[in-house]
Amino acid sequence: MKKVRVYWNLHKRVWSVQDVKSGRVVSHRHFITIRDAKFVVRKGGQKRVREEGKKNVHAFAVGYVDDNYNIDKIKPTPNANFNWQMVTYNPYKDDYFMLKEKAMSKDWVGDIHMESLRCEHGVKSRVYI
């Protein structure tokens, strides 16, 4: 398994997967689950978003991709035996990732499932823990 940084790509409307060591984007995926992961919000980038009103890549998840589990052509379904909960982040009003309108602990580590869904307004990103 390799360590990656995953963020929502506003231009391509998919998840960009970046190798942590090289900093290079290694793939774009509609669905991905990363293990032993945590959320990161870089305060400098967040401040720029709020001041300039333009989004930039400053919030992402860091963890390990199990390539046997994450195959681009297959939508991984969150395990039915696990109670997946939706996580949100709004850089204009939230300081960190939110779970049911409460900020998550910055020490939280676990599995993160990300997907892109088609809807009447285009494509939406969803994140679950």
Stated length of the chain? 129
Domain that holds residue 96: 2-128
Chain centroid offset of residue 2 CA: 16
Condensed to tens digits (0 to 9), the pLDDT of residues 36-91 reads 999 999 999 999 999 999 999 999 999 999 666 555 545 555 555 557 899 999 99
Total domain count, the chain: 1
* Inter-residue contact 67 to 1 (CB < 8 Å): yes
pTM: 0.85
Higher per-residue pLDDT: 74 or 98: 98
Confidence (pLDDT) at 120 = 78
Torsion from C-alpha of 30, 13, 118, 37, nearest 10 degrees: 40
